[in-house]
Amino acid sequence: MLLDIRNVAKTFAGADAPVLSDVSLALDRGQSLALTGESGSGKSTFLHLAAGLDTPDAGTVAIDGTVLGTLDDAGRARLRRGTVGLVFQQFNLIPSLDAGANIAFQARLAGRHDAAWCAALADRLGLSPHLRKYPEELSGGQQQRVAIARTLAARPALVLADEPTGNLDEATGDAVLTLLLELVAETGAGLLLVTHSTRLADRLEMRRHLSAGRLSQ
């Protein structure tokens, strides 16, 4: 199993109730799953635990057979570099790098830079004319496509996307999601997409809903 989350719980200091309670979820290669829920339901916390950016109070998170709790911070960072691709709502592009360098950045860190694959992604995402532009010179939709290309350039086994279309208008968001789903399918990756939109969630193979810290179908 690519992503195996079992009986995870998380409570933040000073909170009246747990953010997550006894949550379990499994995702394999080639599968896509949407995680829905209202704002504050714990979706982003769940994604951070899945990525090893935070640690649960109870339960286990395993990626490709490796239990994240057995790794130190450096070990989790290495696993993320080699196996996990993250797409953030805020894009998190590097301002001092142009679009082309931003796309190649994660792949270079992972030791898997492939100039032809980066060029193919840029072309597929309509970014080829903009590779010499810096993030501040790009529209929101273009920045999000750069972020998606950067994630897929490293050919991750697992893609975790946190509201990847949240800053986009509906038409642009639909187009970006279509491209993300196509490219993830072509690379054989697993996709866990966090979204508040049931309309977007319905486009993925599977869907789970998070409410009051617990998962339901």
Element (H, E) at 10: strand 3-10
Indicate the length of the chain as a whole number. Answer: 217
- Tell me the pTM: 0.91
- With CA atoms as reference, report the closest residue to 3 among 193, 209, 186, 190: 190
Q: pLDDT class for 71, splitting at 50, 70, 90?
A: very high
Return the axis-axis angle of helices 99-109 and 115-124, rounded to nearest 10°.
130
Give the integer Cα–Cα distance in Å for 33 and 50: 13
Q: 167-170: long-range contacts at Cβ-Cβ below 8 A with a sequence spacing of 24 or more?
A: 167/89, 167/90, 167/91, 167/140, 168/140, 168/141, 168/144
Over residues 110-121, the pLDDT tens digits come to: 999 999 999 999
SS3 64: coil
Structural domains in the chain (count): 1
Q: pLDDT class for 89, splitting at 50, 70, 90?
A: confident
Residue 188 has pLDDT above 80, yes or no: yes
Query: What is the domain extent for residue 9?
Result: 3-216
Residue 64 has pLDDT above 80, yes or no: yes
* Domain CATH for 138: 3.40.50.300
Classify burial at 51, counting beta carbons within 10 Å of its beta carbon; exposed 0-12, middle 13-18, buried 19 or more.
buried
Residue 75 has pLDDT above 80, yes or no: yes
